[in-house]
Structure 1
Amino acid sequence: MSIENVKDYLANYNRSSDIIELDLSSATVDLAATALGVEPARIAKTLAFRGRKDGESVLIVAAGDAKIDNKKFKELFGVKARMLSAEETLEQTGHAVGGVCPFGLINDLPVYMDISLKRFSTVFPACGSSNSAIELTCEELAEYGKGKEWVDVCKSWADNG
């Protein structure tokens, strides 16, 4: 079970007990925001892409109100942004869509944090299931999620913040 992998992983940071297991689904940004009682932008969504010329998958963690900017993505990674299918996402991360996060991954994928998150003191990424989350600072998210670097590959969020 993926949430168990995330609990084991976050135990390395003494944070597994901080995982919030919800009675409601948090499988989408809007559902997570409603279940947690926060604005949708504070949901840290993790998106899986075929992100590099060598075919390696990459994860982008972005604010809930941000959208991938194809031009920026292509400038950074050299390929058009193409999301993985639900099956490919599960195969690459060990997490089903709705619970994808940068924690407890079954493959060592590069994780990039989008700057759209930095406007918040804390954000809420999923924790491996469609009804879990954890509140983290952006610095904690980058550390625990083994963020390779902060990037600017999203659009729309600046108009909302």
Structure 2
Amino acid sequence: MSIDRVRGYFRERGIEDRIREYETSSATVELAAQAAGCEPARIAKTLSFRVGEDIVLVVAAGDTRIDNQKFKARFGCKAKMLAFEEVEPAIGHAVGGVCPFAVNEGVLIYLDESLCRFETVFPACGSENSAIELAIAELESLSRSLGWIDVCRLKEA
């Protein structure tokens, strides 16, 4: 189970006890915000894409969506999300629990600038009912991201 991979990853870093497991699903931004007791924007959703031969994860604020023009300018191709059945084998976490921690070798991780407006955010921890509250600097370090990018925009109301 992928939450066990994440739990082990965090155990090695001394923060396993900060993982929150909820009685209810946190598989969507809205459900995660309810479970965590925060605004949806502070949910750090992890989106998975195929970019050429690479698997790319983009961690973004919960109130954003991919901006196709920005994505194409950054990666040189149209944003193509992984199909449901591709996600777990490619990343190591199933849909609803995808996170930037303890992922399969070779997965490329980026953080979207939309997260920078918050002191802390709540990414998933490998299951559809888990999360961890992290300061932005912790997310940057623990995700082993390749850096900050700007490929999102706020959703229209």
1:13 aligns with 2:10: no
Residues in 1 aligned to 2:149 and 2:124: alpha-carbon distance in whole angstroms? 20
Any runs of at least 4 consecutive aligned residues in structure 1 with deviations exceeding 6 A, and if so which?
none
Shift of 1:39: 0.2
Over residues 19-69 of structure 1, what are the superposed CA-to-partner deviations in whole Å (9 max), with x where a residue is unaligned? 000001000000000111100000000000012xx3211000000001000
List alignment gaps of at least 5 residues for structure 2.
none
Shift of 1:106: 2.1
1:57 aligns with 2:55: yes
Match of 1:84 in 2: 82
Shift of 1:107: 2.6
Over residues 77-133 of structure 1, what are the superposed CA-to-partner deviations in whole Å (9 max), with x where a residue is unaligned? 001000001111111111110000011112331100000000000000000000000
Contact map agreement 1:92 1:107 (CA 8 A) in 2: no
Match of 1:40 in 2: 40
Structure-to-structure mapping, 1:1-161, within 5 angstroms:
1-51=1-51, 54-156=52-154
Q: Secondary structure at the match of 2:115?
A: helix
RMSD: 1.3
Residues in 1 aligned to 2:11 and 2:59: alpha-carbon distance in whole angstroms? 21
The answer to which of 9-18 and 145-154 deviates more is 9-18
Residues in 2 aligned to 1:141 and 1:49: alpha-carbon distance in whole angstroms? 20
Shift of 1:76: 0.5
Q: Secondary structure at the match of 2:141?
A: helix
Residues in 2 aligned to 1:97 and 1:118: alpha-carbon distance in whole angstroms? 25
TM-score relative to the length of structure 2? 0.96
Residues in 2 aligned to 1:92 and 1:144: alpha-carbon distance in whole angstroms? 20
Q: Secondary structure at the match of 1:82?
A: coil
List alignment gaps of at least 5 residues for structure 1.
none
Residues in 1 aligned to 2:41 and 2:18: alpha-carbon distance in whole angstroms? 21
Residues in 2 aligned to 1:79 and 1:57: alpha-carbon distance in whole angstroms? 13
How many residues are aligned here?
157
Over residues 139-158 of structure 1, what are the superposed CA-to-partner deviations in whole Å (9 max), with x where a residue is unaligned? 1111101010100000116x
Identity %: 54
Shift of 1:10: 1.1
Q: Secondary structure at the match of 2:99?
A: coil
The residue type paired with residue 12 of structure 2 is N
Residues in 2 aligned to 1:156 and 1:125: alpha-carbon distance in whole angstroms? 18
